[in-house]
Structure 1
Amino acid sequence: MNRVFALAVLAAVAVALPVHAQLGNIGNILEFGKKAVEVGTKVQEATKEYSIDEEIALGEGITSGFLGATKLHPDERLQRYVNRVGRWLASQTEKPDLPWTFGVIDTETINAFAMPGGTVIVSHGLVKRLASESELAGVLAHEIAHVLRRHQISAIQSGAWGDVGKSVGAEIIAQKVGRNDVLGLKTQLANFGADLVRDGLFMKPLDRGLEYEADRIGVVIATRGGYDPYGLVAVLTMLATVKPEESGASITFSTHPSPADRIAELEKVVPATLEQYARQPQVDGRFRQAVGMK
């Protein structure tokens, strides 16, 4: 699929009404969420060098490079459904106005990816292993948290994605000084993003602490959206039964902490603070219909 066309398709399926799960006591959830997301909110100073528009341009480049190698899944109903769930979750965050876009790629690998600026991609191989909408919400909310905390930008600036990524990113930012060619800068950022995918740097793992932070914040976002806070825990429990050598599973295990470690970290948060919301719906019927399960 042409990369430009693929991006257009991904943007088109994002136009959807939000899906509302049963909300429960949203006031209490929001109050808890406000306190919880303050944990670990100090992002590296270097990330401030990217404006929101530049971050979006970088993310578009990464998405373009990504979709140049992997096609979107052809099921338009599934694409619309995942977008509805994702955009509803994004509306519960402090950055609801980012150009949030969610898509399913046609691969049996088990993974999900967040791009700077608000694009989230989940593999069909992962979606079909989920059992409910609350589990899907847990996955998407984790990726949304990466965007909110600008984890990928931090990885670029810190050199976690290689010295090449760090130096190129710094060079682009240096050109901002005294420069008014905004379009040219955005083009460079988009090209830089595509290069990150081409050179395999985007697939390098994030710091374990950032993954744990995304888990914690993601659980709060999913709970705000009215979902069972144990949705992500259920996904991790499922992943713990998958052998790393299984087809499509190696990427997940090479880029994330082990499911057992992630569950252990979440157990420090969920039972103590979100147990009262454990009766919020899992929404399995709607999920099964959307993904074609019987």
Structure 2
Amino acid sequence: MKNNILNLGLTNCIKLVAVVLIAISQYAWAGDFNLPDLGTPSDSIMSPTKEKEIRDSIINQIYEYDLVMSDPIIADYIEQLGYRLAANSSNPKAPFDFFIVNNNVINASAYPGGLIVIFSGLFLKTESESELAGVVAHEIAHATGRHISRAYANIKKTMIPTILGMVGAALAAQYSDSRDAPIAIAAATSALQQQSMINFTRSNEYEADRVGISTLKKAGFNPMGMAGFFGTLLSEQPIDKKYHAPEYSRTHPLTINRVSEAKNRAQEASVSEYTESELYPFVKERIRVLTKHIEIDSINYYRKLFNDKDKADISNAELYGHALALHHANKNSEALAVLKPIETTNQTALIIAILEANIITALDWDKGSKMFASFYKMYPENPIVIEPYIQILVKNKNFKNTKKARLLARALVQLYPQNANYYQLLAVTNQNASKSIEANEALAMKQHIIHNNYRAVRILKNILKDDLDYYQRARIESKVTEFESLITAKERTREIMEEKTGRRRY
């Protein structure tokens, strides 16, 4: 049976085109991106079923092209922030999913079905957790206000919208020193030729500001966070229209009146005390390092930063980022020296300890693995501990480590059964243990989680060709029956076409 694990990589150009095609919330698309029929233009609002179909399709694409920042510390942080805000929104029972996308564009997107996507570039642009929370609260308000559903409901199904041309141009500039630049520029040109945008109305934006500020206050953040960040973006809008404003300003138009009204509302809702996580600056520096294409760029960033600052002004989070950059460049002794002086708090101690353990593991595997084992005893259900523990076990293959890694990965998917990345990790650990049936079964589960049931069924049917025992066959046949019932007509058509043309992406 063909091993699917070895065919998981995607080139930068494919990822780039995928970002250009799917990243911005004010657009929908059809055809190769397999979104469902949105109904007729006369529909005033989409049904929850159609919302879910679009949400599932977009989640499939952002996983398909490896756009999600799946680092457990980053993913856990944005989920906790998002859920804290959603619980204090105008519809606290509404389902939401929160992702950070690895791209330097300054934007955030809300999609039908409660899908919120934050670009890494926007995260890095914020100066406080309340500013970041302000953006997320604004997007949540668009979702709970059904602004997105109303906008999408009016798209003709024959339209093939694309993102704003300047986003493509920004991406082309981002990769202009690579061989992928021509593809990026082509994508930008295509985007410039399309005018099928979905814009939120002015009243939508004002309503999202008002509701979002209320959510910020209820969630215990500084209500001025949203207005402050919008004011920063407004101040950076060029007077000369031939220069490009930050993408968020283009998809969520900012005016002096709108920002002023947001500030007035925030002042009315002002609080004497608010709570921000001490993790925010550390996660921000982690994103800064993990989104650099060249490792030395991160190191040079921190060296220049420290040269321009007095030693007393260097933050613990910046030291953390520098140590992480050095670790990723395999300068582990230097990384350990940078990390040692960092002062920890109850909130930051674990992520700092995990970085230290990773660094020590690179220098002395036995010592580092013992640190991870002790962390696991203290935090047996924490993914930011379990995932890196599995990763170090996978890198040092022997019978004992392979067995332990497999057990941990199985525990991880049991704890978090809706996390696609953990099924990928389970597939790797099963393959290392020469459990090819279980490995491919895990890959099928990953495809199911990201709403690609056609592929999941293909993988499972391939497994059925093998010599299985009674229980394995019964389990897999049951999944085939379940997943086949979930395959959409458009998904089936797309996959058949890809098989015929040899364009299958897995």
What is the CA–CA distance in structure 1 between the aligned matches of 2:245 and 2:237, rounded to whole Å?
7
**2:213 matched to 1:209?**
no
Q: Give the aligned residue type for 1:85.
A: L
Contact 2:86 2:96 in 1 (8 A): yes
TM-aligned CA deviation for residue 257 of structure 1: 1.7
TM-aligned CA deviation for residue 59 of structure 1: 2.0
Count of matched residue positions in the alignment of Structure 1 and Structure 2: 217
TM-score by length of 1: 0.63
Contact 1:118 1:147 in 2 (8 A): yes
Tell me the residue number matched to 1:218. Answer: 212
TM-aligned CA deviation for residue 240 of structure 1: 2.2
Tell me the residue number matched to 1:288. Answer: 281
Describe the SS at the equivalent of 2:235: coil
What is the CA–CA distance in structure 1 between the aligned matches of 2:216 and 2:107, rounded to whole Å?
18
What is the CA–CA distance in structure 2 between the aligned matches of 1:110 and 1:103, rounded to whole Å?
15
Residues 164, 238 of structure 1: alpha-carbon distance in 2 compared, 3 angstrom cutoff: same
TM-aligned CA deviation for residue 138 of structure 1: 0.6
Can you list the C-alpha shifts for 1:59-97, whole angstroms capped at 9, x where unaligned? 222343455567123533112101101011111134333
Tell me the residue number matched to 2:93. Answer: 97
Tell me the residue number matched to 1:88. Answer: 84
What is the CA–CA distance in structure 2 between the aligned matches of 1:247 and 1:62, rounded to whole Å?
31
What is the CA–CA distance in structure 2 between the aligned matches of 1:56 and 1:227, rounded to whole Å?
30
What is the CA–CA distance in structure 2 between the aligned matches of 1:2 and 1:261, rounded to whole Å?
47
Tell me the residue number matched to 1:231. Answer: 225
Contact 1:63 1:115 in 2 (8 A): no
Tell me the residue number matched to 1:241. Answer: 235
Task: Select between 244-253 and 222-231 the one with higher mean Cα deviation.
Answer: 244-253
**2:136 matched to 1:136?**
no
Describe the SS at the equivalent of 1:82: helix
What is the CA–CA distance in structure 2 between the aligned matches of 1:262 and 1:108, rounded to whole Å?
25
TM-aligned CA deviation for residue 56 of structure 1: 1.9
Residues 154, 206 of structure 1: alpha-carbon distance in 2 compared, 3 angstrom cutoff: same
Q: Give the aligned residue type for 1:109.
A: V
Tell me the residue number matched to 1:264. Answer: 260
For the pair shown, the structure with the greater C-alpha radius of gyration is 2
Task: Select between 115-124 and 260-269 the one with higher mean Cα deviation.
Answer: 260-269
Can you list the C-alpha shifts for 1:198-254, whole angstroms capped at 9, x where unaligned? x97885322122111111111111111011111101111221233458998553232
Residues 69, 203 of structure 1: alpha-carbon distance in 2 compared, 3 angstrom cutoff: farther
**Percent identity of the aligned residues?**
26
TM-aligned CA deviation for residue 255 of structure 1: 1.5
What is the CA–CA distance in structure 2 between the aligned matches of 1:212 and 1:288, rounded to whole Å?
29
Can you list the C-alpha shifts for 1:36-78, whole angstroms capped at 9, x where unaligned? xxxxxxxxx9445x33233222222234345556712353311
Residues 77, 211 of structure 1: alpha-carbon distance in 2 compared, 3 angstrom cutoff: same
Name the structure where helix makes up a greater proportion of residues: 2
Contact 1:133 1:286 in 2 (8 A): no
Q: Give the aligned residue type for 2:249.
A: F
**2:145 matched to 1:113?**
no
TM-aligned CA deviation for residue 258 of structure 1: 1.9
Contact 2:107 2:247 in 1 (8 A): yes
1:254 to 233, 250, 254: 250
Show structure 1 runs of 5+ residues with no match. 7-44, 166-196
What is the CA–CA distance in structure 2 between the aligned matches of 1:144 and 1:117, rounded to whole Å?
11
Aligned Cα root-mean-square deviation (Å): 3.5
